[in-house]
Amino acid sequence: MTPRPRVLVVQHEDDCPVAMIEPWLADVGLDCDVLAAHRGRAVPAHLVDHAGLIVLGGRMGAGDEARHRWLGPTKALIATVAAGGMPFLGVCLGHQLAAAALGGQVRPHTRPTRALHPLGATPEGLQDALLGGLGGGPEVLHWNDDVVVRAPAGATVLARTPDGAVQALRLGPRAWGVQFHPEVTAAVVRGWAADRDLTAQEEQVVAELERRTRELHRGWARLVRTFGRTVLGAGGPAGMEESP
């Protein structure tokens, strides 16, 4: 039996797992190899046995290489993958690392964001291979302190939050970064505050995610599966034809 194509997934923290990305990619015929960089696994310089790269989120900042030494090699790998035209998806911190790796700038936002925001697609986003099939929705989960304040040269802003912050970028012909989390469940989000109580606003967001998981996951799964089809070479527009 021919092995299924595989995607390399770089993980930064135990409580920021691949979560729903793994089963949703499996739906289109892809397997995930999760590289726990925070546990000492070496980040490769190139993709050799993998057809694409996903970099997940984490509490650290995109410039925190001194404390988290794998971030530098992760940035280098992202730059190599994007420059080579291979499929890449950066999620939250992964999006910020990609922007920094390619010459953009990341800074703390005016205040931490804990919210379900509409996907604020730009005209370019509505035509994009990854985001275009989502139309004007769905709402997406933001749980971040930092944002991209200057996109890399040549990047395209695909979506913005209601306050104007960058929500999604196209960083190359098959490379994207999203500030939001399309992979999570309510249990994963609760795990991000395991060492403290959720604030009232955070509790409200998690409760809404619990109530609306099925609805929200339809759109988030469509995005992940469309990325998977890009990895397989079928192209993003195939995702527009998918039934929920």
Give the residue numbers marked as catalytic: 92, 181, 183
**CA-to-CA distance for 244 and 238, rounded, in angstroms?**
13
In terms of DSSP H, where are the helices of 47-133?
71-83, 93-101, 123-126
The DSSP call for residue 181 is: B
**CA-to-CA distance for 27 and 22, rounded, in angstroms?**
9
Provide the edge-to-edge strand list for the sheet that holds 6-11.
31-36, 6-11, 52-55, 88-91, 175-178, 166-172, 156-160
Helix (H, G, I), strand (E, B) or coil at 228: helix
Q: Which tokens belong to 109?
A: 């936002």
Helix (H) or strand (E) holding 8: strand 6-11
Residues 182-218 as b/e (b if ≥16 CB within 10 A, e otherwise) read: bbbebebbbbbbeeeebeeebeebbebbeeebeebbe
Closest to 184 measured CA to CA, from 55, 56, 29: 56
